[in-house]
Amino acid sequence: MHGKIVSYQDFTGRGVVINISKTLFDFNKESWHDPKIVPTVGLYVEYRADGQRVTDIHSSKFQNFSDEALIREYDFWRTETDDQLEEITEKARMNTIKAIYRTTNYANLQDIDVTITVAQAIKNYFTLENATIDMLGELAKDSKTLLLNYHLMKRFILKALDTFLFLDKTITRDRFLQYTGVITRLENSYRGMVRYNNMNTKVLFEEYFLRYQTHYQALVAAISGNQESLSLCSRQEKVTGVEIQKLRSKLEILQAKKVAQENKGEAANAKVIANIEQEMATIQDSIDDKTQALEGSNNQFQNISQFIDTLTAIKDSFYKRHYDTFNVVFQSNFNRITKKLKEGLDLCGTLLDDQIWELSSKSASLKGQYFKGGAEENLCAVNFARLYLSHLDKALLRDTEEELYRYCQKIDKQEKKYYLIISNNVDLMVGVKVKLLMTNKYNIIKVAHKLISLQSSLSEIVFEMIYVDEDIESLTVEQVKEEIQDSKLNRNVEIQMISKVQKVDGLKIRS
């Protein structure tokens, strides 16, 4: 049956499809049998059902019912299968072609009209990909946001998500469907584009452009009809030639009989000779008629041949002209859509990573265990990538790992900033740390509560700001300030005093 998806949840893999009678049918990801396309709301589908449960469902070939289409959405709903709708489409197409064929004066034809443009044909081919790209317009993007390279960072984004869901049981995966659903569609479309990068454009041209050129197809029918006439003419010429040859042979036989009678002298039978001559005259008349007909047939053959050559030249010119255009426009659209899909994946991957960061930095569960437990950084993809790379021998990196390493270094150089908190008050330290982590996804927060850890941090890292607890117990404030002043890397860094009675919201942060 034909239907349309009215709801679908990526996480659960469950959806609802509606038919022409407004009856609703439930389906799940196990019954979806379409490797190229993921279910989405608004998608036209073909399905089989057992009661109210769908047993098999996939996308319909027909997703576009524009004014240029031979069928309307009404035709989709009144048929049960794509095969039936294909028959209706083909019948409508053939009727249109026949009407054009009957009403066109091909003797005066100079060129043929275009039924659908190259741009429209290519748009029809990329219908699903364009629909996926259109979904990106609904996503809000901060122009200052650094977009991640999704294909490099995908597994680390997923690692950040899984880790967050593991640490905070109050958050479910459904919370991230806004981005994960779009990512799934983008990935399917992108894989399809990569897979068909070397597709034969001639096949696509004929399937998606020429097939719908009704004037072109009518011209092909006219050429075919004239070729049949040419073949008939050729067969008639052969038959006439054979008949003439037979008549000439018969004439030769009669001529021999006449000579034989004449050679008898006085015994010759004048009546027999007269009959032979009369029969010979009749045969000669027939030969003359057939010869004349043969000459007319030859002229007709030449005229039809020239007519076919003229029509073929028009057809070939149309084909070449539009095929060359199709090649250029198709490649341009292919490159544009592939780029858009990749950019879409980068955008959605970044937005998902940002959502994980924002929710995790505000999470009470993480504040109570993750950040209090010594974590220095946010839950985000780059930090998991750094953790992965830290376990590898940098001299033995594979090409993809080397690319990832350089990519992370680039982000670190652009975005990573270090802050130092000097305190042994855990609650104060956690409060300031979370505030700093909420400010920027790439911030790294170091904590020192003893002299040795303070000296080590100051000698190794350049900090944006240093926060000193006024009530630190293991060190005096004067000691801390003295160590900072003696540091080559951080002697000019701004210091902010903090205390347990100070509100974290009023914390000064240099970004």
**Once rounded to an integer, what is the mean pLDDT over residues 412-417?**
92
* High-pLDDT (> 90) share of the chain, %: 53
> 360-396 pLDDT, tens per residue?
999 988 887 788 878 899 999 999 999 999 999 988 9
CA–CA gap between residue 180 and residue 188 (Å, rounded): 12
Q: What is the pLDDT of residues 224-238, one digit of tens each?
A: 998 888 888 888 888
Asked if the model's pLDDT at residue 511 lies above 60, the reply is: no
Instruction: Report the alpha-carbon distance of residue 93 to residue 214 in Å, rounded.
Output: 7
> Which of 92-101, 266-275, 403-412 is the least confident region?
266-275
Dist. CA 260–CA 275, nearest whole Å: 14
pLDDT in tens, 419-457: 999 998 888 999 999 999 999 999 999 999 889 999 999
Instruction: Tell me the CA distances in angstroms from 232 to 13, 102, 229, one per residue in order.
Output: 62, 21, 5
Q: Name which residue leads in pLDDT, 69 or 400.
A: 400
The structure's pTM equals 0.79
Domains located in the chain, CATH noted = 2-75 (2.40.50), 416-511 (3.40.50.2300)
Q: How far apart are CA 151 and CA 294, in angstroms?
A: 74
Task: Dump pLDDT digits (tens) for 460-508.
Answer: 999 999 999 988 888 888 999 999 999 999 999 999 998 876 655 556 6
- Helix (H), strand (E), coil (C) string for 78-137: CCCCHHHHHHHHHHHHHHHHHHHHHHCCHHHCCCCCCCCCHHHHHHHHCHHHHHHHHHHH
Which secondary-structure segment (H or E) carries 15? strand 14-18
Q: How many helices (H) and strands (E) does the chain have?
A: 15, 9
Query: What local confidence, expressed as pLDDT, does residue 254 receive?
Result: 85
